[in-house]
Structure 1
Amino acid sequence: MSLSTLKNRRERGFLDGQFLIAMPGMADSNFARTVIYICAHSDAGAMGFVINRPQSLTFTDVLLHLEMIKSDDAIMLPRAAREFPIQTGGPVESGRGFVLHSDDYLSDSSIPVSDDISMTATLDIVRAISKGGGPKRATMLLGYAGWGAGQLEAEIGNNGWLNCAPNEELIFDRSLDDKYERALALLGVTPAMLSSEAGHA
């Protein structure tokens, strides 16, 4: 699914705002042990963000790259901006930044994902965060995960993914190392349980 399709969609699909949790047998290394928050799902495809993969770049690096600050000014950034989390959102358009955030911040370019969460991919939100403003809860993701028409449904049918209702705390939690296990716990299962069941008809 393209971003233009996301912006123009009228109805929410049944996986919109859901978590996808990779099964242990996931063959694609881009998605092994990932938790994905689905932002849009329709007959045209799906798109979402991996929420448990670290990113080596910092928010300061992003501001410098965008030439929104000079290197000498980096130390003057508010602490919240210097510590603002950035993650790897997926393999598609990995050089492009998106901010997933609470709905207390909205601009003309913000796209509602659920009743409580929106996504903004324009510089206005980056500028607001750099000045210590912006949404109360947010994370920046570089790149996204995308599927063509019917592709995600086929992967779920082939036992590639589990899906469940999201947990907002988990979306914005900065502790990434055990987020996969905590997402599975929402379903009452552990990785060991899934591994022992894999391969049994």
Structure 2
Amino acid sequence: MKNLSPSYLKHQFLIAMPHMADPNFAHTLTYIVEHNANGAMGLVVNRPQELNLADILEQLRPDTEPPARCIHVPIHIGGPVQTDRGFVLHTNDKTFQATVQLDGLALSTSQDVLFAIADGVGPAQSLITLGYAGWEAGQLEAELADNAWLNCPFDPEIIFGMACEQRLEAAAASLGINLSLLTSQAGHA
């Protein structure tokens, strides 16, 4: 019997195609946290913003001077939804108050993970975002059918082992694709 369930992209990367017009997602690499019949949720992992962890800690713990190392912890734009809310994608060696396990990774949304990272007792590797990307039921499938995205297998090395500006190209390269060679006319012969 054939499996008729749609193929969901949980725990994969989405690569924005070069012709992606939506400014929220142009030139982005997104990690898909959840994808099911109700929709999808992901975190853009290659768009740092001007903030760093020290800036956030000054708001969360105004009476405590943030450790100097926090200045070097970038905060990424995770997507256009709930941009005031923090999401920390991290290795699953530690868990916190609000941690969800994801195939060898974890996602934490409670402030304690930020304090742990600041105090040097956080997870081995982490990526902090403000906001997330969300898709309604069927929306991501429609965008994929419209060639807005490519999907590829998740590789933790791309998030945790590479400079931010290398992540998108590295994910595309894992599929044997050079994004700079694709034009906005790709797929419209």
Instruction: Provide the TM-score with structure 2 as the length reference.
Output: 0.90
CA shift, 1:197, in A, is 5.7
Are 2:97 and 2:110, in contact at CA under 8 Å, matched by a contact in 1? no
Q: Which residue of 1 aligns with 2:84?
A: 95
Match of 1:46 among 40, 43, 46: 40
After superposition, the C-alpha distances for 1:53-110 in whole angstroms (9 at most, x for unaligned) are 01111101000111x1437x23xx152x332231111111111111100000112420
Local SS of the residue matching 2:43: strand
**Pairwise CA RMSD of aligned residues?**
1.7
Write the distance in 1 (CA, Å) between the matches of 2:117 and 2:159: 18
Q: Which residue of 2 aligns with 1:172?
A: 160
Q: Is structure 2 residue 8 aligned with structure 1 residue 14?
A: yes
Q: Is structure 2 residue 173 aligned with structure 1 residue 185?
A: yes
Write the distance in 2 (CA, Å) between the matches of 1:42 and 1:126: 29
In structure 2, stretches of 5+ residues that fail to align are: 1-6
Q: Which moved more, 1:190-199 or 1:149-158?
A: 190-199
Match of 1:58 among 52, 55, 65: 52
Write the distance in 1 (CA, Å) between the matches of 2:146 and 2:71: 42
In structure 1, stretches of 5+ residues that fail to align are: 1-12
Match of 1:70 among 63, 68, 88: 63
CA shift, 1:185, in A, is 0.4
Q: Which residue of 1 aligns with 2:3?
A: none
Q: Is structure 2 residue 161 aligned with structure 1 residue 161?
A: no
Are 1:35 and 1:51, in contact at CA under 8 Å, matched by a contact in 2? yes
Are 1:43 and 1:150, in contact at CA under 8 Å, matched by a contact in 2? yes
Q: Which residue of 1 aligns with 2:18?
A: 24
Are 1:78 and 1:131, in contact at CA under 8 Å, matched by a contact in 2? no
Are 2:159 and 2:167, in contact at CA under 8 Å, matched by a contact in 1? no
Aligned residues: 183
Match of 1:104 among 82, 93, 98: 93
Task: Give 4+ residue runs of structure 1 displaced > 3 Å after superposition.
Answer: none
Are 2:27 and 2:168, in contact at CA under 8 Å, matched by a contact in 1? yes
Write the distance in 1 (CA, Å) between the matches of 2:165 and 2:118: 26
Counterpart AA for 1:60: A
Q: Which residue of 1 aligns with 2:121?
A: 133
Counterpart AA for 1:18: Q
CA shift, 1:192, in A, is 3.2
Counterpart AA for 1:39: V
Match of 1:150 among 138, 142, 162: 138
Write the distance in 2 (CA, Å) between the matches of 1:174 and 1:84: 14
Are 1:46 and 1:148, in contact at CA under 8 Å, matched by a contact in 2? yes
More strand by share: 2
